[in-house]
Each structure stands twice: as structure tokens, then as C-alpha cells.
């Protein structure tokens, strides 16, 4: 972003509002990891954060409000796209970032809790959709750069390439429940790139 966000809670970074938000989101994540979405309660988050219940209710409204803001914050904290000058290296950086995230005890459990919640809660689904939309848009830029350098065919759909990099990792993580290893990440890069070079991502 070119200028600081002016939305409530972020106008005075380091101020009381920001500190309260940080404590509440930290507590939300702790509770999600330990109890899952169904175990998440406003009162417990408030107690764990050391913040008044009325503040939590007023600012976040509901547990899905907490989850949406947490996902928003995780998107803010996620790394910008790589720009190594090589599409293969950029896509590898993306795959390894996903690999690290899903295999990180705390972060991986957070994603899995929200993925589980989203199967039966539309607001949780919306939070997930917003998170991945931002991440895909950010990393799609590496494909646009590759097209400009002549590494990939004109018209290659960057968002689709980025989805294709992540898909095999998440498929194993939450669907087939198989290990998500470095080899899985590397193969996803090789295979996606082979298809992209063959023009299969031109739309």
C-alpha cells in the first residue's frame, strides 16, 4: 500500500487501539489453535487478551468477526511476492512460503481451524476467500513479470498459476491427509511451470 490505512484500529500504530487489537487477535489465534472454531468464544478471547468483554463485542461483534480480522492481519503480515528475475525461483519462493505456513504448528493449525469453520459458516468462508484472494493477487505479479521477460507465453493467467502452485499442497494437507513435504512443493513448481510453458495457462 502507498499510504497507511486509515481504518479504525490502525491509525495509531503502537497506540492503545493497536495494542488492544494485537492482544485480541493473538488470543483469537491461541484459542483457534487449542479449541478450534467451535470452541471459540468472545468471553474467553476477552479474558485471554486481558481486554474488557464489551470492547471485544463492540469492535468485533462475533467470533466470525474475530476470525475475519485475524485472517486480514495474517494477510497483512504475509510476505510480498518475490522478484528474483527468474520465474522458476519466484514460484519456488511462493511454494516454499506455502509449505512453511502449512507446516508451521501455529499457523498451520490456524488455517485448518478456519478451513473447518468455513465448511459450515459463510462468514468464515468469506474470511478465507478474502485472505486467499489477496495472497493470489500479490503473487500473480511474478507471472506478469515473467511474461514481460518472455519466460512465459503472452496471456498466461497469473492468478491461475499461483492457485496451481498451492493446490497440491493444500490437497494433501486437508483432503487426502498426506504429508506435505519439500518434494511436494518442488514438484508443484516443476509441473506448474511445465504446463505454463506449454501455454496451458493462457486464457
Q: Is 175 in the site for a copy of itself (CB under 8 A)?
A: yes
Q: Is 19 in the site for a copy of itself (CB under 8 A)?
A: no
Phi, psi of 151 (to 5 degrees): -80, -30
| Residues composing the chain | 203
Residue 102 vs 142, nearer CB to a copy of itself: 102
Which stretch in 6-14, 52-60, 78-86, 113-121 sits in contact with a copy of itself by CB under 8 A? Answer: 113-121
- Asked if residues 93 and 82 have their Cβ atoms less than 8 Å apart, the reply is yes
Binding-site size, a copy of itself (CB under 8 A) = 42
Residue 6 vs 177, nearer CB to a copy of itself: 177
Q: Is 29 in the site for a copy of itself (CB under 8 A)?
A: no
Q: Interaction with a copy of itself in 149-168: which residues (CB under 8 A)?
A: 160, 163-164, 166-168
Q: Is 118 in the site for a copy of itself (CB under 8 A)?
A: yes
Rounded-to-integer distance, Cα 152 and Cα 108, Å = 32
Helical spans, DSSP H, in 86-173: 87-103, 105-118, 122-149, 158-170
Q: Is 185 in the site for a copy of itself (CB under 8 A)?
A: no
Q: Is 197 in the site for a copy of itself (CB under 8 A)?
A: yes
Three-state DSSP class for residue 202 = strand
- Asked if residues 180 and 168 have their Cβ atoms less than 8 Å apart, the reply is no
Which grid cell sits at 56?
471485544
> For a copy of itself, which residue of 18, 23, 96, 125 counts as binding (CB under 8 A)?
125
Q: Is 107 in the site for a copy of itself (CB under 8 A)?
A: no
- Asked if residues 64 and 124 have their Cβ atoms less than 8 Å apart, the reply is yes
Rounded-to-integer distance, Cα 113 and Cα 183, Å = 25
- The site for a copy of itself (CB under 8 A) is made up of 36, 38, 112-113, 115-120, 125-126, 128-129, 132-133, 136, 160, 163-164, 166-168, 170-172, 174-178, 187, 190-192, 194-195, 197-201
Amino acid at each position: 500500500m502507498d499510504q497507511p490505512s486509515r481504518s479504525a484500529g490502525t491509525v495509531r500504530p503502537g497506540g492503545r487501539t493497536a495494542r488492544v487489537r494485537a492482544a485480541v487477535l493473538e488470543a483469537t489465534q491461541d484459542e483457534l489453535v487449542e479449541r478450534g472454531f467451535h470452541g471459540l468464544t468472545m468471553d474467553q478471547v476477552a479474558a485471554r487478551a486481558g481486554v474488557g468483554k464489551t470492547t471485544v463485542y463492540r469492535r468485533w461483534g462475533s467470533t466470525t468477526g474475530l476470525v475475519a480480522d485475524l485472517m486480514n492481519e495474517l494477510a497483512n503480515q504475509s510476505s510480498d511476492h518475490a522478484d528474483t528475475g527468474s520465474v522458476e525461483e519466484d514460484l519456488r519462493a511462493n511454494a516454499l512460503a506455502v509449505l512453511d505456513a502449512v507446516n508451521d504448528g501455529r499457523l498451520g493449525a490456524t488455517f485448518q481451524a478456519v478451513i473447518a469453520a468455513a465448511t459450515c459458516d459463510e462468514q468464515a468462508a468469506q474470511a478465507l476467500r478474502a485472505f486467499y484472494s489477496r495472497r493470489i493477487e500479490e503473487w500473480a505479479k511474478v507471472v506478469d513479470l515473467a511474461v514481460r521477460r518472455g519466460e512465459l507465453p503472452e496471456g498466461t493467467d497469473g492468478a491461475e498459476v499461483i492457485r496451481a502452485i498451492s493446490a497440491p499442497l493444500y490437497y494433501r494437507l486437508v483432503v487426502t491427509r498426506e504429508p506435505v513435504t519439500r518434494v511436494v512443493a518442488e514438484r508443484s513448481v516443476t509441473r506448474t511451470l511445465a504446463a505454463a510453458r506449454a501455454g496451458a495457462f493462457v486464457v
